[in-house]
Amino acid sequence: MQAEPLNIYVGQGQMPFADGVADRAGLFGDLMRELCARTEQQCVFRSVPWRRVLSEASDDEHGIVLNLGRTAEREGDFAWLLDVLPTPYVLASVDHPYNSLAEALKAGPVAVMGGTPRANDINAIRTSGQRVVEVTDPQQAAQLLHSGRVVAWFEIDLRALYLWRELGYEAPLLFGKPLSQTRSHIAASLRFDGAQALRQRMSDAFAQMRSDGSWQRILASYLGLEKSQTLLSDGW
């Protein structure tokens, strides 16, 4: 067991994955609390604005990051402890599924979280007369889509599903094919001593959670029973 407590850095406003200030801790927050208990590891959860999470965790020799997409740019910057969920970016819509940004923009306005790489991607291909609506909160994008003011919403599929469910919208969301194939992990600072041993303990505990149904209960509490069953049947 790690002698010193783990410092778990939780980015604010990252639901359904994690939120250091919400009543519910999110998929990763609930998962990490259970992993800490099962591995008999003392954990201190630190709520930090997302823009500071990576830098603060990287500088902390006991730092752990929740809900971190494993990308080529980040590969060598962290010790990757646990592969938790696929988090593909998709175009969510209600009338017609869109399989490309160009197709959606041709049909009408598209909502996206402002200041993100995906906002840069869609603005880079937007042509004259096409509209991108940048929002400051993903809930705004869900509301725009529900009201018909945009034709599509460029977002992680699980976040779109979660917010749609939280807002009580009954119209089914449609998704085109994934526009990216990111997988979201729990990761540690490269300064963390003992990452390999912790990786094995966490992997064993996560396997137990999948076997005893506790992981599905966490998934279902945020995403609903049907989506939780789909994720698990796909090997997650």
pLDDT score for 49: 85
Domains, in order of start, for the chain: 4-85+181-232 (3.40.190.10), 87-173 (3.40.190.10)
Contact 198, 82 (CB under 8 A): no
Peptide bond into 109 cis (omega under 30): no
pLDDT score for 235: 61
Contact 132, 109 (CB under 8 A): yes
104 Cβ neighbours under 8 A, 6+ residues apart: 91, 93, 98, 110, 151, 152, 154, 176
pLDDT score for 3: 64
Distance of CA 9 to CAs 12, 55, 105, 182, Å?
10, 10, 36, 20
Give the length of the chain.
236
**Residue 17 three-state SS:** coil
Q: What is the DSSP letter of 12?
A: T
CA–CA separation, 78 and 150 (whole Å): 37
Show the CA angle centred on residue 82, arms to residues 80 and 221, nearest 5°.
140
Q: pLDDT (tens digit, 0 to 9) for every residue of the chain, 236 residues total?
A: 446 899 999 988 789 999 877 678 999 999 999 999 999 999 999 998 877 889 999 999 999 999 898 888 889 999 999 999 999 999 999 999 999 999 999 999 999 998 888 999 999 999 999 999 999 889 999 999 999 999 999 999 999 999 999 999 999 999 999 998 889 999 999 999 999 999 999 999 999 999 999 999 999 999 989 888 888 887 65
pLDDT score for 1: 46
Quote the distance between the C-alpha of residue 89 and its chain's center: 10
CA–CA separation, 63 and 57 (whole Å): 5
pTM to 2 decimal places: 0.86
Contact 79, 189 (CB under 8 A): yes
Peptide bond into 16 cis (omega under 30): yes
pLDDT score for 233: 82
